[in-house]
Structures are given as C-alpha cells and as structure tokens.
Structure 1
Amino acid sequence: MWTILGGHMFLPVRTMVDLPMIPPLGKESIPALAAFLGCRFIARRRVSFLGQRGGVFWLLLLFMLGPFVTAELNGDAIFIGGHRLPPMEHYDAVSTVINQLIIIMPFFLGRQLFRTEEDHILLFRVLILAGLFYSLLMLFEVRMSPQLHRWLYGYFPHSFVQQVRFDGFRPVVFMGHGLWVAFFTAVTVIAATVFWQLKIKVRKFSPANITYYLLLILLLCKSVASIIYGYGAFLLIKVASFKTQLRVARILVLIALLYPTMSIMNLFPHQALTEWIESMSAERAESLNFRFKNEHILLEHAQKRSFFGWGGWGRNRVHDEETGGDTTITDGKWIITFGVFGWMGFIAEFGLLALPVFRAASVFKWVKTQQEMTFLSAHALLIGMLMVDQLPNASLAPWLWLMAGVLLGRSEAIVEAYRTENSVAFINKTLMKQGV
C-alpha cells in the first residue's frame, strides 16, 4: 500500500526511464511494478491475474487482446495537413498490453492480498495517515503557491495558471495537478469519516477532529467536483443507511457506464448541467462547457472506428485539415479510452472498476457486523465516485486500481466465508441425522 500510494505522492511527473523492448517506466508504472516484484519475490506471495473464470477473467482477457485487434484494424497511416500519423503495428500492441498490465497490477494485488476485515481497516488507516502527512505540504503550497515539484525536480509539471483559483492557489505538491490532489483528499475524507463512525482512533487522535481537519483541507484544494465528492460522501456515511450508500454507489457506476451511450444519443443533460453550474460560478461553467465541446468533437471522431478505436500516436484526436495541428483537448479518461480502444476497451477498463461495486452490493446480505457493513458500503461509494470522476477528468492512477481491487477481494472473501460456513453447517446437520 505504501509503495503504490507513496509513488503517487512523491515521484516526479512525466519523468521516464526508457528501457528497450518495454514501455517507458515512470511515476505510474514503477511503484506498481515494484510492489508486484516485492510481493512475488521477497514476500513470496503468488499473485494470479486470470484466476478462475468469471467476470474478471473475461474482462481482463478483453483488456489484453483488445489492443492487438486495434493494431490490426489501424494498419493504415493517416495523412492530414502535411503531417503523417503512423500506422499501428504489433509491436505497439505488445507495448500497450505490457504497460496496461503494469498499471492495473495493483488491482490484482488488492484483490488477492487484502482479504480480511483487518486488511480493510489497514487500508483506510494508511489513507488517513497519508492524507494527514500530505496536508502539511498542501498547506505550504496553498500559502506559498505550488513550488515543491519545481524546487525538488527542477520543473513544474503542468500549467501554473490552472492552479490559480479564487485569488489564491490550489496545491499540486508532487501529483501533477491540483485536481488530482483534491480527489486524493476527498478519498482521505471518506476514510476518516468511516473511522469516525466506528470510533477508531488514529495514533491517539480523535477521528472526528481528523475528519473536520481533512474537510477543511479539501475546501482549500478549491476543486468543485472533489468538494462535492468529499462532502457528499461525508453526509451519506454519517446520515444515510448502508443500503442507501450502496444504492448511490450503483447509480454512480451506472452513470459512468452509460455516459458514452447517453452522449451519443444526446440523452445526457449537458446544457442543463452547464446552466446549473453557471448559476454558482460562470468561470466553472465556461470550463465545463469547454470540456463538453471537446468531448463532442472527439466522440464524433471516435464513432468512425467505434468498436476497437483508433489506437495511439494521436490518431484518436482531431487534427486541422490544413495545418495538421491538434485541435482538441482530451480531459476525461472515458473519452481517451473510447477514442484509443473503442467500445471494447471502454467495457474492459470500466467493467473492471464497476465489478467490485456490484459484487459488494450482492454480498452485503451476508455481512454480519456493523463495522464490516460500514467499510463495505463506504468503499463502494468511493469507487462509484472514482468512476464518475473519470468522465470530466483522467485521475485513474495505480493506487485507485488498488482501491478497486481491495473492494473486490474483500467481497469475494465474504462469499467464500459464507459458503464455507454453509458447507460446515450442512455436514454437521447430515452427521446429526445419521446419529454420528
């Protein structure tokens, strides 16, 4: 947990180690690969990817085979405005699959290594400790402007102007953008709220005080979406029933899964949502409208090769007919995946994220303790918010894949415990009938 999350918190952005025959290794892939190698060869824990046949098996198979079909269907070079976009080759497919498997390794680590209730508590405790420590760096940048990445690594990882909000700054630290820091903080708020509900202290600190503190830090991040996620989850966990939390989580997942279809069929209320945001902030509404316009242009282009996408090398983007320059900005993870890998890639990636939420909801009836119910429902809510956040943003990092994997692993462990208990009860009942 610390290896994967720590890499996201402290490694430099867009700095790569480019070795032959494998994709460039950087902030996203190095921690995931290090955690996997440590678990496999130091801790001697076997980590299986495919495992038994089921939803995960078929989605992962699609996840791995899809890029080869994409490469096969995009063997043509594209000439536009005097520029040439190269064709996809089998080498590109192999490189893409290796990179994707490295990025989602934490999903399978979480699924297989975090199985008990104590593991669930440990996960949330680490998130809270990480949030508390990182908040000190965040407070520094709120006051002094985002400078830590430049001071330590010698460059600023993104547009500095985008980090200026409401006559101040939002923190970036080492995550690359203020939006990702804000979402990380929202996740730590959820973890702290769960500990508050269960009255679990963190190193003698009151969980209520920690939650209030992290809620304040979230406000200082000045990201409207993450503030809605964090404060919305806080209220749901504190006030709503477990079933309501699971219902909201499933609704959020369904919105994320159905969003491409609703956008294609013009069923999603883009205009109404923009007008609602405009009533609160004209600047935020303008930003949202800009994203929707780019999304619409990219979606029209993606539909020309909708099943397996356009592949890489910028082929999924829209270029000027005269100059060949890129005219679009891809903000949302969903439109990036949809443009590059098409429907099959979208179903594989978002299906792997959605499956843990539906599995958690299906096993909830077998959960016995209130503590377990609190963790399971709040965790499902967290993954639901993560999926919705992939519509306007591309915040899907390895540590979030780990979070999804832990929820799936914990849900599967509950099923196994229930079946084992029923089998033992059946054997005992049979033996009693036989007078043994």
Structure 2
Amino acid sequence: MSPQAQIVILLWLPIVTFIFLQFSPKKAVIISFLVAWLFLPQRAGFVFTGIPDYTRISATCYSILLLAFVFDGKRIQAFKFSWLDLPMLILCICPFFSSIVNGLGAYDGLSSTLAQTVKFGLPYFLGRIYLNSLSGLNQLAKSIFISGLIYMPLCLYEIRMSPQLHRIVYGYFAHSFAQTIRYGGFRPTVFMIHGLEVGMWMMAVTVIGIWLWQAKVIKKVWSIPITWLVCALIITFILIKSTGAYLYLIYGVFILFVAKKFRHSLPLLILIVTVSLYLCFASTGNFTTQNAEPVLSAISSNISEDRAGSLEFRLENEELLVQKALERPIFGWGGWGRSRVYDYNWEGVLVDISVTDSLWIITYGRTGIVGLISLYAAFFIPVSIFALKRYPAKFWFHPQVAPTASLVVVITLYMLDNTLNAQFNPIFTLICGGITGLVIQVPKKHKKLDSQAKKLHSSLPTKLSQ
C-alpha cells in the first residue's frame, strides 16, 4: 500500500458526493459502484482497533449508502422486506451464529456479520431499492457496457506492455506478477486484483454488448456503430487469455440465442440445476476428483494440460476442505482460518496444506450449509422467477427486456464461476438486488409491455428503445 492509494481511499467519499451532486441518485449509485470497483486501489485501506477496517469494499459501500440517504432518504425509508430478501438476510447474519457455536464470542460474531453485510448486503440493498425496475436495470446494463469500452484500451495496453497500470498509478503491484503471464503473453489486471476478475468482467461486458446490439437497444455509442464496438470487445476479450471466461461467454450467448430462436430459457435453467446438483454432491463429500476424470481428460485433450492440471488441483483441495467442513456442517468453523486443513511438515511445524480457490468452499467452510444455501439461493431464486414467471424467454428480445435478460444470464454465469474461483465483485450483487426487486413487483404494471411483446412473437423488434 502506498500513500497515493491511501489518499484515494480517503478522497472517495468527497468523490461520491460530487457524483451525487451531478446526477440523479439512481445514476449516481450506478456510476459510483462502477468507478469504485474498476479504478480504486487494491489492498488499500486503514486498520482500526476495536472497529472494522476501512477497506476498498467498505469505502465503496459506506460512501454510496451515506450519500443515498442524504440525497434520497425517502427511498431508503420506503423499503419493504420480502420473503425473497430472506436468503440474503441469512447470508449476512449467519457469521454471527458461526462465531457463537465455535466459541469465538459475540464480538467476533458481530464483527463478522458487519463485514459480511458490507460485502454482500449493502450492494444487494442498494440494487434492491434503486434498480428494481426494467428501466433501472436497463440503465445499469448500458452503463456496464460503456464501462467495458472504457476498460478495453487499458486491457489492450497491459496485454502489450504487461500489467503495470496499478503500479504506475498507485506505486505497487496488486497481485503476483508471475500469475499475469499466460500462453506466451500477458493477462491484464488493470485495477482489479487478478486477471481472472478482469476476464470475468470483460466476459460480462461482451455478453451484454452482444445482446444490446442484437436486440437493437443501442445503435451507436460516441457516434461509433455498436457493431464495431462489439467486434472490438470480442477481440479484446479473446486477447485477455482467460480460458474459463471463454466458455462462459460461449454458453451465455448460447442461452440468449436459444431464447431468441426458440423462445425458451431451458439452457439457463439447466445451468442453475447443474450448479445446484454439483454443490449438493460436493458439499456432502460425494463428488471426488475421480468423478471429474472425463471432464479433466476432455480439457487436457482439447484445451490445455495446464488448465486440466489446475482444475484437478482445485478439486483435490476441495475434497480435503469438504471433509473438514463436514465436521461442523451447519454453521461451519467461523473465521480465522479455522476451516482450512493443517498438518505437520517435515520440520514438525503445523502448516496449512489446503488452498481455497472457490467462493463456494470458502463460504461452506466458514458458515456451513446455512451460508452456502443462502448465498446461491439469493442469486438463483430471483433469476428463476424472472425466467419462469415474470419475463419468460419469449420476451427477452424485446428492447425493454433485453438488457435485463442479459444481466440475468451474466449473474448466473458469475455464480457458476464461484464454484471454481473466488473473484468477488459487488456489481454482480448489485444486479442481484435489482432483479430481486423487479420480480417482487406485481406484474400487472407490465401488462402493456407483455402485450407489446406478444405482437413481436413472430417478428424481431426494430424500434430503438431508449
């Protein structure tokens, strides 16, 4: 951490204040989250005794929540709890019970609950109250697309020159430089923690861009035809060299085009069921590396032996961690590394022999099955309601629904990635809150839209929706 990084963290509240003075509260929330997560320094903040640390995520969420309350307090006060908010509520408070049952005390429980609430609860809550409509989510989708266009030249710079922007601006590398080398070139990190996070973000941007283009929601950005911009995004995304993100993009586009061609969300639902079944078997210790042997062989033969080896290493570590988690399956082991696996090395020193790569195993180990179910339920339940009840796939190509449909696909792919990686990004949680708020609403207010969509049943929309 450098002085300039600390200064930026301190200045973030005044910067958010300026953003709220320039834009409407809804737009200010969107811009603030995007700018914060794409450009604030990594591993920067302040450590305090007796109170939670002031970090990148807390600076982001506290500032936006405070300014939202100052500029738009009535909206916050008008919030009404729904049963669909229950999974996120459980996710936020279950660290308290994990601390209590592990004898770590109420203070540790309250501190852990606050940290979990800041990480997941606040982005969800802000999305829930500000982006709970098609127009709000559409504005977010368009903003994410534009943020990707801004990030694109930065990615290209680091692909050519190596990941140096964080060091140039903030004076230090955010992560191990060795992990940025991939396939004889460089994988950009820009201002994110890892190239995997950049790959996931640019995948999301590209999926959204493709669908905005296909549904004719946007024709030009900065007087440049969207066709050219999407092509540039695809090329940049390929150059990022993130193998897993390639597969996510292919499947995400497949989901959307099946919705367009066959007016069905079956591929999305299959993905949700598959991830859920995998977690069910893996969390009970019934999924082993041997079960994944056909997949590992296919990856080794068709993609890369290194990628197959990396996946095998993760699965082997997850087997160890699952066995440890099963010792305390309900609320987990709590924090302080208690869920990890330790053994004595050749010197007789007790050392950590486990590696936690995926968010699901981290959540399971720390907060048990209660935390794991609530995490995935918070994302998958509103997505399923959107696809099955509120806005079936036959409406996804309508210009007013298409941007939100692309966000639904993106956060589902994000949760798929969390079964392999742990690249946290609060913007995906912000989307989750917005979609939850949308599906909670009584659909009668969208009857006019549904009527319009039915008229488009046999033809593609051509009118630009702003």
The one-letter code matched in structure 1 to 2:52 is P
Q: 1:334 and 2:360 equivalent?
A: yes
Q: 1:324 and 2:350 equivalent?
A: yes
Could you tell me which of 233, 237, 255 is aligned with 2:252?
A: 233
Match of 1:270? 292
Q: Calculate the aligned-residue CA RMSD, in Å.
A: 2.5
Write out aligned runs for 1:31-430 (5 A): 31-47=60-76, 51-56=80-85, 58-75=86-103, 88-104=104-120, 105-199=122-216, 200-201=218-219, 202-238=221-257, 240-241=259-260, 246-263=265-282, 264-266=285-287, 269-279=291-301, 280-321=303-344, 322-361=348-387, 362-365=389-392, 370-413=398-441, 415=443, 417=445
> Aligned equivalents of 1:127 and 1:55: distance in 2?
25
**Conservation of the 8 A alpha-carbon contact between 1:249 and 1:357:** no
The one-letter code matched in structure 2 to 1:184 is W
Match of 1:82? none
> Aligned equivalents of 1:368 and 1:192: distance in 2?
14
> Aligned equivalents of 1:6 and 1:378: distance in 2?
21
> Aligned equivalents of 1:219 and 1:23: distance in 2?
40
The one-letter code matched in structure 1 to 2:169 is L
> Aligned equivalents of 2:435 and 2:340: distance in 1?
34
**Offset at 1:54?**
1.1
Tell me, what secondary structure is at the counterpart of 1:371?
Answer: coil
> Aligned equivalents of 1:299 and 1:243: distance in 2?
40
TM-score of the superposed pair, with normalisation by structure 1: 0.87
Q: Deviations for 1:17-75, whole angstroms, at most 9, x for unmatched residues?
A: 2234432122222112211111111233433698334132x323422432222112111
> Aligned equivalents of 2:261 and 2:128: distance in 1?
22
The one-letter code matched in structure 2 to 1:326 is D
**Conservation of the 8 A alpha-carbon contact between 2:82 and 2:440:** no
Tell me, what secondary structure is at the counterpart of 2:322?
Answer: helix
**Offset at 1:257?**
2.6
> Aligned equivalents of 1:242 and 1:349: distance in 2?
32
The one-letter code matched in structure 1 to 2:383 is V
**Conservation of the 8 A alpha-carbon contact between 1:357 and 1:407:** yes
**Conservation of the 8 A alpha-carbon contact between 1:3 and 1:35:** yes
The one-letter code matched in structure 1 to 2:40 is L
Tell me, what secondary structure is at the counterpart of 1:325?
Answer: strand
The one-letter code matched in structure 2 to 1:159 is S
**Conservation of the 8 A alpha-carbon contact between 1:338 and 1:345:** yes
| Number of residue pairs aligned between Structure 1 and Structure 2 | 409
Q: 1:18 and 2:47 equivalent?
A: yes
Higher deviation after alignment, 99-108 or 200-209 = 200-209
TM-score of the superposed pair, with normalisation by structure 2: 0.82
Give aligned-pair identity as a percent.
30
Could you say if the C-alpha distance between residues 239 and 54 of structure 1 is closer, same or farther in structure 2, counting changes exceeding 3 Å? closer
Match of 2:6? none
**Conservation of the 8 A alpha-carbon contact between 1:277 and 1:284:** yes
Could you say if the C-alpha distance between residues 61 and 108 of structure 1 is closer, same or farther in structure 2, counting changes exceeding 3 Å? closer
The one-letter code matched in structure 1 to 2:384 is F
**Offset at 1:239?**
5.5
The one-letter code matched in structure 1 to 2:339 is N
> Aligned equivalents of 1:49 and 1:340: distance in 2?
34
Could you say if the C-alpha distance between residues 315 and 50 of structure 1 is closer, same or farther in structure 2, counting changes exceeding 3 Å? farther
The one-letter code matched in structure 2 to 1:302 is A
> Aligned equivalents of 2:416 and 2:373: distance in 1?
15
Structure 2: runs of 5+ lacking an equivalent: 1-29, 450-466
Tell me, what secondary structure is at the counterpart of 2:75?
Answer: coil
Q: Deviations for 1:127-177, whole angstroms, at most 9, x for unmatched residues?
A: 111101111111111011111112222221222111101110000011010
Higher deviation after alignment, 153-162 or 216-225 = 153-162
**Conservation of the 8 A alpha-carbon contact between 1:253 and 1:387:** no
> Aligned equivalents of 1:231 and 1:330: distance in 2?
27
